[in-house]
């Protein structure tokens, strides 16, 4: 019998994404921007999707300056027709889609007893329905190709109730992403499409940086650090290895899994 181990390509080559095509929603800034760079550096062509056109264009231009094939795509993930157009645009440009990173999300703090219904609906529309609509449109082309990697951005808030701020709706939406990931993984595994998620802890994006400079942020930061065994915020670069791992062939036997990257927050 063939020895799979001796026949396999060297391990770092198996992390490469040459010839693969990826899209990243919410790719215009923060974590999505870091995911887009990571996938591109690993060899993939990358569609940078965002509802903010200028951000999508700026990140696509950053990638092109690194010699990465990139395409800015404007889409609101809460709108099924725009999500379908996003996938159609990628297919028109490259003829395939191998990696779908469903990362666009919004956060918000509300006391539940006074949270307006419209805010609840908005949170669920972006964080939950948006991830589903993207996964659905991506899977249609991946299932017919017999292979695909879907990676959803959940959060450590899918696992714990954050404190001291109140964010029941956000936490609920992210717990939904986690179970949607498992459910879609089970449904599509027999046809070659893997679905996994990444759950970041508090991560230093530009918005988080700006926030912790304000009085309310200065008040919250010590609470967050005290609950994090590593006693620091994560950097977006701390998440890049996970997205390349989940996008590449090295993780082909993994599906329905969540990678928590939180400096140990969920351990306590």
Which residue number, 103 or 255, has a Cβ lying nearer to ligand NAD? Answer: 103
DSSP 8-state symbol, 127: I
265 is catalytic: no
The helix (run of H) or strand (run of E) holding residue 123 is helix 117-124
Figure out which of the listed residues 203, 228, 240, 251 binds ligand NAD, where binding follows CB under 6 A: 203
Phi then psi for residue 72, to 5 deg, are -80, 135
Least distance between ligand NAD and beta carbon 144 (Å): 25
| Interface region with ligand NAD, contact rule CB under 6 A, candidates 61-69, 72-80, 138-146, 222-230 | 72-80
Least distance between ligand NAD and beta carbon 191 (Å): 26
Which residue number, 52 or 186, has a Cβ lying nearer to ligand NAD? Answer: 52
Contact 195, 206 (CB under 8 A): no
| Interface region with ligand NAD, contact rule CB under 6 A, candidates 97-105, 178-186, 223-231, 240-248 | 97-105
Q: Should residue 130 be labelled a site residue for ligand NAD when binding is judged by CB under 6 A?
A: yes
Residue 45, Cβ neighbours under 10 Å: how many?
25
| Interface region with ligand NAD, contact rule CB under 6 A, candidates 76-84, 92-100, 188-196, 219-227 | 76-84
Longest dimension (CA), the chain: 65
DSSP string, 166-226: -BHHHHHHHHHHHHHHHHHHHHHGGGTEEEEEEEE-SEE-HHHHHHHHSHHHHHHHHHHHH
Figure out which of the listed residues 20, 23, 24, 32 binds ligand NAD, where binding follows CB under 6 A: 32
Active-site position among 147, 170, 202, 245: 170
Contact 124, 132 (CB under 8 A): no
Site for ligand NAD, residues 173 to 192, rule: CB under 6 A: none
Figure out which of the listed residues 46, 60, 70, 76 binds ligand NAD, where binding follows CB under 6 A: 76
Location of structure tokens 């157009």: 85
CA trace torsion 60, 90, 42, 241 (10° rounding):
90
Least distance between ligand NAD and beta carbon 239 (Å): 9
Residue 3 structure tokens = 């020895």
User: What does the binding site for ligand NAD look like in residue numbers (CB under 6 A)?
Assistant: 25-26, 28-32, 50-52, 55, 76-78, 103-107, 126, 130, 153, 155, 200, 202-203, 205, 207-208
Residues catalogued as catalytic: 170
């Amino acid at each position: 019998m063939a020895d799979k181990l001796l026949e396999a390509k060297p391990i770092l080559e198996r992390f490469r994404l040459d010839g693969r095509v990826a899209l990243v929603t919410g790719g215009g800034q923060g974590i999505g921007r870091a995911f887009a760079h990571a996938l591109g550096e690993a060899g993939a062509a990358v569609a940078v999707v965002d509802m903010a056109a200028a951000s999508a264009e700026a990140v696509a231009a950053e990638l092109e300056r690194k010699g990465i094939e990139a395409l800015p795509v404007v889409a609101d993930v809460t709108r099924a027709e725009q999500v379908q157009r996003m996938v159609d645009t990628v297919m028109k440009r490259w003829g395939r889609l191998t990696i779908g990173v469903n990362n666009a999300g919004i956060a918000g703090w509300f006391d539940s007893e006074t949270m307006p219904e419209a805010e609840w609906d908005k949170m669920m529309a972006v964080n939950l329905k948006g991830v589903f609509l993207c996964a659905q449109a991506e899977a249609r082309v991946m299932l017919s190709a017999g292979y695909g990697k879907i990676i959803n951005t959940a959060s450590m808030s899918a696992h714990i109730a954050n404190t001291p701020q109140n964010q029941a709706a956000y936490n609920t939406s992210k717990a939904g992403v986690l179970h949607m990931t498992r459910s879609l993984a089970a449904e599509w595994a027999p046809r070659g499409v893997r679905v996994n998620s990444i759950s970041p802890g508090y991560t230093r994006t530009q918005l988080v940086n700006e926030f912790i400079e304000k009085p309310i942020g200065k008040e919250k930061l010590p609470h967050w650090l005290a609950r994090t065994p590593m006693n620091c915020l994560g950097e977006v670069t701390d998440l890049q290895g996970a997205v390349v791992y989940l996008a590449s062939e090295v993780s082909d036997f993994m599906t329905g899994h969540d990678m928590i990257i939180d400096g140990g927050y969920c351990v306590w």
